[in-house]
Amino acid sequence: MTSADPLPRLVRHALPTLHTHLLSPQWQEPRIGIVHLGIGNFHRAHQALYTEEAMLAAGGDWGICGVTLQGDVGKRDALMEQQGLYSVVERGPRGAKVTVVRALREVLAMPHDHASLFARLADPLVRIVSLTVTEKGYCRDPKTGEVALDDPAVAHDLTHPLAPRTVPGILVAALRERRDSAAGEPFTVLSCDNLSHNGAALRQVVCSFARQRDPELADWIAAHVAFPSTMVDRIVPATTDAERATVADATGYQDAAPVPCEPFRQWVIEDRFPGGRPAWDTVGAQLVDDVTPFELAKLRMLNGTHSTLAYLSMLGGFDTIDAAIADPAMRDLIHAMMTQEIAPTLTMPASFDLPAYRDALLERYANPALKHRCAQIAMDGSQKIPPRLLATISARIDAGQSFTHLALAVAAWMTFLRGHADDDTRYEISDPLAGRLKTLAASAHGEPQALMDALLSVREVFPADLAARPEFRKVLRDALQLLRENGARGAIAASR
């Protein structure tokens, strides 16, 4: 092979030549025991890696069938050309570590592989169906927590229950088949999305969908199907050509679907798996009775400050999280926000060191190798702002405590909706409510009071009781005024 020849594709017969890039050279191909909906970068850098490690530690048939739900045959075909193999590129201050992952055994794309997916979901060997589909994928009415009956995709699934397109439609159709099978055994449904009480939230959506079609099925799901909640954490940016080049240089093979990530990872899981589970607890996952304290710490400390960094950075001209946190004023703001405003709202187990957690987050943000784009984190703000920031603000108000840094974060999101940075650089607003939010922001013409009044009327984001609280309105308006008069960088400096 000459230097001009393309590298061979990463496939399973190459594994004997890749021992230095495998978790272990020992490997017995497992049968599929997990179906994962939403086979994106996060799952492949997080749960799939934990699962391979667990099989190496304790055995078990926990191979993964990954499913794309957006008709993404490109991802399916790329991964299946590689027989499910892909590389995780862990980027830290000391360089990149490449690991080839083998746990993914099959990839399907809906709706193209409908029959194959439902055959897999009906297989009694499949004991867990896990999900990373983002909050949008739950088709959840934010006001009631029930399935969103006004969603056209939900309406389709209720009318065509044997040809579902949505997560609740797929799960209900599969669980009906499992109930009516000879064994009558369900699978466990494991949410791994950044959603408060994600297991309970998904259970409510699924049961409410089922109740629209078959109340007896809804009762059976409520009585027999486990929906454990989880807290997941690992920074996983979008894949770039840099990862493909890193894998090629390290392994000598071409990988069309590598995944970059940071060294840190965390997974806290409520231990409710009637059908069994991989030995995740032997490889670093925390199996607990109640995930809530860990979930809140991550949601408020990490996700809340991540969003704060993203929106202030989009306005102030920082492209990546490491560049933003390298600014001394920004770092001071985020440190103060976590220490003074967020940490006091949390009640953690005695073994959990909140100051150490804060410092670890700041260190992770500063990782110069990751290049986590602020624009990626800024997506879907209308769904992220309520749990990440507004819930903490409500807790601070109820306790009679200040929340100026948190208010600045919300004001930055509101200002971000104008669609341009302080230097007039344009950017896109990627959000389920983008059209409406942009129209409301434009109608205010940059005037803080008008902008606040317009956006506080969006009930999908701001609960009526919070939007009406005078103390919230005053501090938020002051933050909007600060941003208008000083720009993001000036507002950050003034908030130190």
Tokens found for residue 416? 């971000």
Same domain flag for 364 and 244: no
> What is the CB neighbour count within 10 angstroms for residue 290?
11
At residue 67, what are phi and psi to the nearest 5 degrees?
A: -130, 125
Residue 257 CA to residue 280 CA, distance in Å, equals: 25
Is there a single domain that holds both residue 277 and residue 310? no
Q: What is the 8-class DSSP label of residue 287?
A: E
Mean pLDDT by 10 residues, the chain (496 residues): 73 95 95 97 98 98 96 93 98 93 97 96 98 94 94 97 96 98 94 92 98 97 98 92 96 97 95 97 96 93 97 97 97 98 95 94 92 93 95 97 98 98 97 97 97 97 97 98 98 92
Cα 309–Cα 313–Cα 314 angle in degrees, nearest 5: 125
Q: Domain for residue 75, yes or no?
A: yes
Which among 288, 316, 351 is the end of a domain? 288
Q: Residue 72: which domain range?
A: 12-288
Q: What is the CATH number of the domain that holds 43?
A: 3.40.50.720
Tell me the CATH number at 434: 1.10.1040.10
The pTM assigned to this predicted structure is 0.84
188 and 300 part of one domain: no
H/E stretch holding 493 reads: helix 470-494
Contact present, 258 and 86 (Cβ < 8 Å): yes
Do 27 and 57 contact (CB within 8 A), yes or no?
no
Residues 387, 283, single domain; the answer is: no
Dist CA 209 CA 215 (whole Å): 10
Burial class (CB in 10 A: 0-12, 13-18, 19+), 377: buried
Residue 3 lies in a domain: no
Helix (H) / strand (E) containing 86: strand 86-92
User: Of 288, 311, 326, which marks where a domain is finished?
Assistant: 288
Contact call for residues 247 and 97 (beta carbons, < 8 A): no
List 109's β-bridge partners, or say none.
68
Same domain, 280 and 305: no
Residues 73 and 133 in one domain: yes
Q: Are 172 and 210 in contact (CB under 8 A)?
A: yes
2 found inside a domain: no
Q: What is the pLDDT of residue 4?
A: 54
Using the Cα atoms of residue 377, residue 382, residue 384 and residue 385 in order, give the sign of their dihedral.
Answer: positive
**Rounded to whole angstroms, how far apart are CA atoms 169 and 156?**
9
Neighbours of 193 (CB within 10 A): 20
Which of 244, 247, 154 has its CA nearest to residue 206? 154
Sign of dihedral through CA atoms 391, 395, 400, 404? Answer: negative
Q: In total, how many domains does the chain have?
A: 2
* Domain-embedded: residue 4: no
- 313 vs 102, 298, 324, 409, 452, CA distance in Å? 37, 21, 6, 11, 20
Identify whether 218 is part of a domain: yes
216: enclosing H helix or E strand: helix 215-224
Q: What pLDDT was estimated at residue 312?
A: 98
* HEC assignment per residue over 333-388: HHHHHHHHHHHHHCCCCCCCCHHHHHHHHHHHHCCCCCCCEHHHHCCCHHHHHHHH
Distance CA 105, CA 65 (A): 6
Rounded CA-CA distance 231/109 in Å is 26
Euclidean distance between CA atoms 166 and 187, whole angstroms: 18
Distance CA 474, CA 175 (A): 49
> How far is 276 from 226, CA to CA, in rounded Å?
11
Residues 263 and 341 both lie in one domain:
no
Domain endpoint, select from 246, 262, 288: 288
Give domain status of residue 48, yes or no.
yes
What does the block give as tokens for 456? 């506080």
Side-chain-side CA neighbours of 382 within 13 Å: the count stands at: 20
Could you tell me the two tokens for 205? Answer: 């959506």
Give domain status of residue 60, yes or no. yes
- Residue 29 has what DSSP assignment? P
State the pLDDT at residue 5: 67
Instruction: Based on the fold, state whether residues 53 and 151 are members of the same structural domain.
Output: yes
* Pair 126, 273 in one domain: yes
Same domain, residue pair 345 and 472: yes
- With respect to residue 116, please indicate whether it lies within any of the assigned structural domains: yes
353 and 205 part of one domain: no
Q: Map residue 257 onto helix, strand or coil.
A: coil
Same domain, 242 and 100: yes
